[in-house]
Structure 1
Amino acid sequence: MKLTGFQLADWSLSHRDASKFGLSSRWSNKDMDPVLPKDRTWTTWDYIAYWVCDATNAGVWQLASSMLAVGLSWRQALPALAVGNIIIASVMVLNGTIGARLHIAFPVLNRSSFGFWLSYFSVISRVVLAMFWFGIQTFTGSECVYQMLKAIWPSTANIPNHLPESSHITTVGMMCYFLYWVIQFPLMFVSPQNIRYLFTVKGIIVPFAWLSILIWSFVKVSAKISLVPLHTTLSGSALSWAWLSALNAALGNYATLSVNIPDFTRYAKNEEAQFVQLFIIPVAFTFIGFCGIAVTSAGEVLYGEILWDPLRLIDKWDNRAAAFFAAFSFILATLGTNISANSLSAANDMTALFPNFIDIKRGQVICAIIGGWVLCPWEILASAPGFLSFMSGYTVFLGPFAGIMVVDFWLVHKGKVDVPAMYDPHGRYRYWNGVNWRAAVALLFSITPTLPGLINDINPKIFVGKASLLFNIAWLYGFFSASAVYLFLSKAFPAQETFLADVILGDDFGLNTPTQSSAQNERDEQANVFLASHVDWGTNPLADGGESHHFISAKSKVGKR
């Protein structure tokens, strides 16, 4: 009797979730195919809920408060936050429209601008970062669980510790971490089409809870006492650099999603559904930032210390019911953010790396196990502040990534791209051996000057002089310098093989519609005939293990839609 599950082939998706778009399971599966029309279900309200959900997280709360620590007043911190969010929202819509128009995920889309193989640099980077941040956000969620348990059973704070100090976590801390991870784990099995309901619930409950906390702060301490006396302690160039640094921090907060937003906008009912991001992102994020500033300032008056972490503020409350519900709102906030910003993004990228074995659900489970347990986030938080600085400083890469994507689609190719070719390593987006050297040069020119500042941020003992100032505007510098270099090189040395008379979508091939049994076979045969008459077979059809490349290089003469 043959045992299943113990051989690599037993885990293959080729039979259960095989690609209905490309005929080669090596380069795609169902989750990486262009989204079927029936699955394009996200409306404007879903994107509002999504961003209200993402805005309500402890990180945004703390970001605005931390701007006060560098010497800015709240009147200077809020404009930095608002301007940063307006810029990032603009990039979000530009890249989001690509996903909504082409219905494909970021790892696939990225191949058209970076080249098939160079695109894996950004994909692998995103996987690693997402898993680390998943664990760190899970640890934040465990702190929320602790506050809830302490509100119900105050004796929770007195549970004896049986773990050694070298473990960097206590017995009660590990218990709360495990509880939060268990609460979070079932959501790994929810499809992206349905996870929007979680965002809707969070988008309703959490803003009302945090508005209540804001009102509490104004009732306890008048704004004339907590906010008005706060004036900047800086002047001249020091003030200018501090403000630019705050602006860069606001940009970097969601710089990752500005790159991989197509992972979510590909589910949009239409392009217009996601345009609301241009409005909702600045409003929601700036408001939550103001909440963080106001409540933190009130807490300083009440408790005599700056409590940047809202959970530390809640820990000071005597009202156990208020502490419980406030902590619950932060659990819900952390939960939604960890799914949207980390596990789903990591899963999409892992699906692109191993489409024959990993789909989105499997990718999320892998992220939850590796990010939640293998990486031991409590160890990272306790002993590796330099590594956290590196992950935060990774925006030096994200700005250039976003700039190249925007310029390539909107200015170089003017929206006329070939979706089927993005699934073929030998197609028109192969460039030079799978690398678009224009993008590589743009990355070199935009990233290298900011690396000394990143090194200094990780280890302040390494002196880099005024080079550290450029790191303070790393996203802005990276985005605009990469955009300019890439645009110049693409115009001066155009990749002629990538230019088309019109966009070629997956829908154009009739392979993106649900079919059944004999009707499926008949339509597949029709699709093959269609492809045979519209594709240049420029490579060995038996290359790469005998798999045919059905989307080598679709001709630009395909009719307009």
Structure 2
Amino acid sequence: MATEKMVELKTDVSHSSLYNPDLAPTSLQERNWGSYNFAALWVSMAHCIPTYMLSSGLIALGMNWKQAIFTITLGNLIVLIPMLLNAHPGTKYGIPFPAFARASFGTLGANIPALLRAGVACGWFGINAFIGGTAVNNFLIALFPAWKNFGGDIIIAGLSLPAMITFIGFLALNILLAYKGMNCIRKFENWAAPLVLVMTFMLLIWIVNEAHGLGPILAEKGKLDTLAKFFPVFVPSLTGMIGFWATLSLNIPDFTRFSKGQKEQMIGQAIGLPPTMTIFSVMGVVISSATVVVFGKAIWDPVDLLLKFSNPLVLAFSLFGIIVATLSVNIAANLVSPANDFSNIAPKRISFKTGVLMTGVFAVLMMPWKLLSDPSVYIFNWLNVYSGFLGPIAAIMIADYFVLRKTELNLEDLYKEQGDYTYSRGVNVMAVIALAVGVGIALIGKIVPSLAWLFNYAWFVGFGASFITYIILMKIASAQEDVAVLEE
């Protein structure tokens, strides 16, 4: 797989309604990302506030530091598998996620997984923009206390006027940087990655010192001291860990289409994702455990924790780190994909930049501050629900590409209205049925209490059900076509 020859578009398909320059396959010259670029990408994306809140949220839910680290590490090792599998076609053919989805869902049907993925990305984009905006807001309050009361009692959708202004302002900054293009994003990730790690390490040293060393922190036993108590929290939390990066496991071709080769992206991702998530999560777990010792309760929001600093310079420097961390993950993880996904709806009318603007609008409408209202909402509802949609999509794409097509695609036909991937009026009905089966089984436990265990395993059961269903349906369809040909 690592030495497989990369494919380039040989014929002109620019006249097709399915083509625009943003969705076009990259040329061999454009594929210049090496292992460091992918490792840096993951370091900067993993070193983000949602990752910190993910790990600290487990502490807030009652886990001790060992249980939390085990859950996070296992989840990221599992999600690395579909990540590397879906990365392969991006590197080989230079295609983004929406174009790759056309092979299994059809040239028109690809909009179904693309829009589902885009919806999740809009939510994540809003979450990160809100976190960054909150950091900016708190920084302004620290410098100018009167800013807190600006606008008086004006409340907009549950937010004060200063909070809404900084949220929208930070969101606009993300959009501005995304407009600079993928090379700008790559350069930003390269220098942001080490800075965020240094900032978190400084916070770690401070809180451990306040807790009088690691001894009291490691002595915290947590509330889930028996298997009967731990397992009901562990299972949905593990699903949440996988769901956390299930988004990127789908649209990773958006990045690997720029890779120099399979070896570079595989090494870079293997180095960048599991170790980085584990290290950063350990820091988050230790910091959150220390807050129990120092403040008597787990503080799972790092912005709230940083407000404990009394020195304005230290506070300003720390909040700057949060701003950089949030920008680095938000642009790479939550703007590139939905921009491409929205562009896929009407490639001739919606450009990448227009898709970026659409993402920003939907992010505001989703009111992300409500998703961050409580760790149980964040982990058990937001992460687990959408993992029930994304697991089945990943299963169908992987089954189609590796099991049925043996990694061979007709690159030109991915951009043609009439070709190998037209299916029935542009939609592969078998993929839609398999998706419905997987999502239904994954999420039925949310509605039927007696089947709640299925929802706890949402990503796993959805992936398995869609994987098996899709292969069976496609083989039946293929056999029927063969019979029809013989009869003719």
Structure 2 length as normaliser, TM-score? 0.89
Match of 1:329 among 310, 321, 324: 321
Contact kept? 1:50, 1:203, Cα under 8 Å: yes
Q: For residue 356 of structure 2, give the secondary structure of its aligned residue in structure 1.
A: helix
Aligned position for 1:398: 390
Per-residue deviation, 1:328: 0.9
Match of 2:472 among 466, 488, 495: 488
Rounded Cα–Cα distance in structure 2 between residues aligned with 1:382 and 1:217: 24
Q: For residue 354 of structure 2, give the secondary structure of its aligned residue in structure 1.
A: helix
Contact kept? 2:39, 2:271, Cα under 8 Å: no
Contact kept? 1:431, 1:495, Cα under 8 Å: no
| Residue 178 of structure 2 corresponds to residue 188 of structure 1 | yes
CA spacing shift, 1:121–1:157, aligned 2, 3 Å? same
Q: For residue 341 of structure 2, give the secondary structure of its aligned residue in structure 1.
A: helix
Contact kept? 1:248, 1:474, Cα under 8 Å: yes
Higher helix proportion, which one? Answer: 2
Match of 1:407 among 399, 404, 407: 399
Match of 1:257 among 242, 245, 248: 248
Aligned position for 2:190: 200
Match of 1:295 among 287, 291, 315: 287
Within a 5 Å distance, the mapping from 1:62-461 to structure 2 comes to 62-151=53-142, 153=143, 155-156=145-146, 158-165=148-155, 167-221=157-211, 222-276=213-267, 277-368=269-360, 370-371=361-362, 373=364, 377=368, 391-392=382-383, 393-455=385-447
Per-residue deviation, 1:188: 2.7
| Residue 468 of structure 2 corresponds to residue 478 of structure 1 | no
Per-residue deviation, 1:24: 2.0
Q: Which has the higher contact order (CA 8 A, sep 6+)?
A: 2
Unpaired runs of 5+ residues, structure 2, are 1-9, 483-488
CA spacing shift, 1:290–1:260, aligned 2, 3 Å? same
Rounded Cα–Cα distance in structure 1 between residues aligned with 2:296 and 2:175: 39
CA spacing shift, 1:58–1:28, aligned 2, 3 Å? same
Rounded Cα–Cα distance in structure 1 between residues aligned with 2:193 and 2:378: 32
Contact kept? 2:90, 2:96, Cα under 8 Å: yes
| Residue 28 of structure 2 corresponds to residue 37 of structure 1 | yes
Which amino acid in 2 is paired with 1:273?
E
Per-residue deviation, 1:294: 0.7
CA spacing shift, 1:247–1:388, aligned 2, 3 Å? closer
Rounded Cα–Cα distance in structure 2 between residues aligned with 1:382 and 1:249: 17
CA spacing shift, 1:389–1:230, aligned 2, 3 Å? closer
Contact kept? 1:141, 1:177, Cα under 8 Å: yes
Q: For residue 21 of structure 2, give the secondary structure of its aligned residue in structure 1.
A: coil
Identity %: 29
Structure 1 length as normaliser, TM-score? 0.78
Contact kept? 1:450, 1:468, Cα under 8 Å: no
Contact kept? 2:64, 2:220, Cα under 8 Å: no
Contact kept? 1:33, 1:104, Cα under 8 Å: yes
Deviations 1:146-176 (A, max 9, x none): 232234x152465344243464222322332
Report how many residues are paired.
469
Which amino acid in 2 is paired with 1:177?
F
Contact kept? 1:100, 1:265, Cα under 8 Å: yes
Unpaired runs of 5+ residues, structure 1, are 1-18, 456-463, 499-561
Per-residue deviation, 1:112: 0.6
Contact kept? 1:147, 1:323, Cα under 8 Å: no
Per mean C-alpha deviation after superposition, the further-off stretch among 442-451 and 176-185 is 176-185
CA spacing shift, 1:20–1:59, aligned 2, 3 Å? farther
Aligned position for 1:538: none
Rounded Cα–Cα distance in structure 2 between residues aligned with 1:386 and 1:210: 25
Aligned position for 1:469: 453
Q: For residue 429 of structure 1, give the secondary structure of its aligned residue in structure 2.
A: coil
Which amino acid in 1 is paired with 2:154?
P
Rounded Cα–Cα distance in structure 1 between residues aligned with 2:459 and 2:280: 22
- Runs of 4+ residues over 4 Å off in structure 1: 372-383, 385-391, 495-498
Contact kept? 1:404, 1:439, Cα under 8 Å: yes
Aligned-residue RMSD, C-alpha:
2.7
Q: For residue 430 of structure 1, give the secondary structure of its aligned residue in structure 2.
A: coil
Contact kept? 2:133, 2:169, Cα under 8 Å: yes
Larger radius of gyration: 1
Per mean C-alpha deviation after superposition, the further-off stretch among 97-106 and 431-440 is 431-440
Which amino acid in 1 is paired with 2:461?
Y
Rounded Cα–Cα distance in structure 2 between residues aligned with 1:308 and 1:236: 24
Contact kept? 2:126, 2:368, Cα under 8 Å: yes
Deviations 1:502-537 (A, max 9, x none): xxxxxxxxxxxxxxxxxxxxxxxxxxxxxxxxxxxx
Contact kept? 1:53, 1:202, Cα under 8 Å: yes
Contact kept? 1:87, 1:251, Cα under 8 Å: yes
Per-residue deviation, 1:298: 1.0
Per-residue deviation, 1:72: 2.7
Rounded Cα–Cα distance in structure 2 between residues aligned with 1:483 and 1:394: 17
Per mean C-alpha deviation after superposition, the further-off stretch among 298-307 and 411-420 is 298-307
Which amino acid in 1 is paired with 2:292?
E
